[in-house]
Amino acid sequence: MNIFKNKAIKSRQDLFSALDIGSSKVCCAIAKVENRPYEKGGEVLRLVGVGHQSSKGIKGGLIVDLEALEDAILNAIHSAEQMAGQTISEVCVNLPASSVRSQTFESHINITNQTVDETHIRRLLTFGRNAQIAEDQQIIHALPISYSVDRTHGIHDPRGMVGSQLSVTIYLVTAPKALIRNFQNCIGRCHLDVSGFVVTPYASGLSTLVEDELTLGATVIDMGGGTTTIASFLDGTLIHVDSLPVGGGHITSDIARGVSTPLVQAERLKTLYGTVILSSSDERENITVPQLGENQGQQSHQVSKSTLTHIVRARVEEMLELIWGRLAATGMDRLVCQKIILTGGGSQLPGIREMAATLWGRQVRHGQPLGVIGASDFATNPMFATCAGLLQYGWRDYAGSQNALKIETTQAHVWQRVASWVRENF
């Protein structure tokens, strides 16, 4: 099942916008559809505006200061709109993986030896609402893993087949209704509507994986500032999401404590000198470090580069072990971890890919945003993988069904989403 299927756009929309609300940054991106006859599909997304600000008012995926987050969002959107020379009215927004729930369940209907058509598939999906979803949860993604007709399993498209029973295995992702309302309210205060929500690691995977990786199986690990998120894909669809409360910010904190310097200076040291690669010359190379609490950091002292490297390496090794432990606990290490893609700001540390490949015994590569052109700093930076994925998801969803991502409040409308999901995946 190819999640990048080309669809005929029902009515023209040339401008798409995305808002990535992370623990370390808030990023807004605006892209327009550009005709390119020599490209696959004939159209691509070209970035026309990008804006980002330090994240405020959000912690652990939860809003803790509405006004601070609103200011950060407004500043990011204003920068993007100025660069694009366009005003946007709606955005596709990410939801933190730490707050979502997921489950895999089966739904089936009897078709009494009829030929399977779209009506049967819609009935099948409607029956899926019997899945045990808590009252306080709302569906974000309902993705088909595979279909079965009678005793034939692993079917990607059952239309046209004849049988007595039609079944589907669905991967369902839900989020708390209160969390969704809080994000909607915050973005609404910025005079914007939410065109849809996408769980963060899903968006990162859409922008960094190539088609063969989506089909054969791969896991995307997005190392953000405060959290690390995981998304596993197989046969072209999402089959697992997870998150861990560790990220690049923890490396910064370790440096600040280890060499006694302010957090701002620790982030600077990490950016300029941070690495997990040990070198024999590190002992002889000294780094000037502003001291914590000494006349607003005007006093400094010297530390060897090897001291900094040992601090960074110890934390990164711990993070990688935690990530692999989580994958092993869910069985993903055996199913879809032959190919692993590292993305996000934390993945840019020199040597982290090689360390991960050694510790995990798997093929590991860096993941950069794909499928979006223009604004080269954005288009090639792993920090913006989620934002690029949101743009692609919004474009793909609009091409398939304009209403598939709308946030509904009634039960009937929720299952209209599921019906539109059929159109999205066929």
CB 212 within 8 A of CB 234: no
Instruction: State the Cα angle at 307 between 304 and 310, rounded to 5°.
Output: 145
Spell out, as residue ranges, where the chain has pLDDT lower than 50.
1-12, 401-424, 426
Domain boundaries, the chain: 99-176+408-425, 210-369
Please report the sign of the dihedral spanned by the C-alpha atoms of residue 301, residue 273, residue 348, residue 315.
negative
Is 153 strand, coil or helix?
strand
pLDDT of residue 403: 33
Domain 99-176+408-425 matches domain 210-369 at the CATH topology level:
no
The CATH classification of domain 210-369, taken from the options 3.30.420.40, 3.30.70.260, 3.40.50.300, 3.30.230.70: 3.30.420.40
The distance between the two most distant Cα atoms of the chain, rounded to a whole number of Å, is 82
Q: Residue 91's pLDDT is what?
A: 95
Cβ contacts of residue 78 below 8 Å, gap of 6+?
51
Instruction: Report how far residue 369's alpha carbon sits from residue 44's, in angstroms, rounded to the nearest whole number.
Output: 13
237's enclosing H/E stretch is strand 237-244
Q: What is the DSSP letter of 79?
A: H
**Counts of helices then strands in the chain (DSSP H, E):** 13, 19
What is the model's pLDDT at position 39?
57
Architecture of domain 99-176+408-425: 2-Layer Sandwich (3.30)
Neighbours of 298 (CB within 10 A): 8
Tens of pLDDT, residues 79-103: 999 999 999 999 999 999 989 999 8
Element (DSSP H or E) covering residue 43: strand 43-54
Amino acid, single-letter form, for residue 110: N
Rounded-to-integer distance, Cα 323 and Cα 96, Å: 17
* Cβ pair 405, 111 in contact under 8 A: no
Contact indicator for 319, 343 with CB cutoff of 8 Å: no
User: Is 391:93 a contact under the CB 8 Å cutoff?
Assistant: no
Helix axes 118-127, 411-425, angle to 10 degrees: 140
Dist. CA 378–CA 386, nearest whole Å: 11
Structural contact between residues 41 and 369, judged by C-beta atoms closer than 8 angstroms: no
- The span from the CA of 312 to the CA of 414, in Å, is 46
For residue 73, give the 3-state DSSP assignment: helix
